[in-house]
Homo-oligomer: A and B are copies of this chain.
């Protein structure tokens, strides 16, 4: 079975999605990611979808759901690398990535996560 690797980079976990997501792959990714956040105490998750040429409602829901799970485990999620055509299709189809933050690429995503960390640190 396909298993998507989760790379740790300091306080951030990085996931690169390269394969078409099937139910089982998506489920395993959610479980692995939740376990890894708990294990490492990571407070940021970055999901790179630059290899995906299609983001349908299944993948959209999966991204929202990962983001929600991470949020409960006090980690913020940023989806990066979305192809322009994918963004257009998402809007045309009326699919909103509820609760999912996006950034253009990994570097901007890292900056966004740093900013979120600073904001969180300021909260009482």
Query: Which residue of B has the minimal Cβ distance to A10?
Result: B107
Q: Is A99 an interface residue (CB 8 A)?
A: no
Q: List residues of chain B with CB within 8 A of the CB of A9.
A: 9, 106-107, 110
Give 1 or 0 for each of A39-79: 1 = CB within 8 Å of chain B CB.
Answer: 00000000010110000000000000000000000000000
Q: Which chain B residues border A36 with CB–CB below 8 Å?
A: none
The verdict on A105 contacting chain B, using a C-beta distance below 8 Å, is yes
Chain A, interface size category, equals 20 to 34
A100 to chain B minimum Cβ distance, whole angstroms, is 19
Q: Are A51 and B10 in contact (CB under 8 A)?
A: no
> Taking beta carbons and an 8 Å cutoff, which residues of A are in contact with B?
2-5, 7-10, 14, 16, 18-19, 48, 50-51, 81, 105-107, 110
Which residues does chain B contribute within 8 Å of A110, judged by CB atoms? 9
B16/A19 in contact, CB under 8 A: no
Bound-state Cα–Cα, A3 to B50, Å: 10
List residues of chain B with CB within 8 A of the CB of A105.
7-8
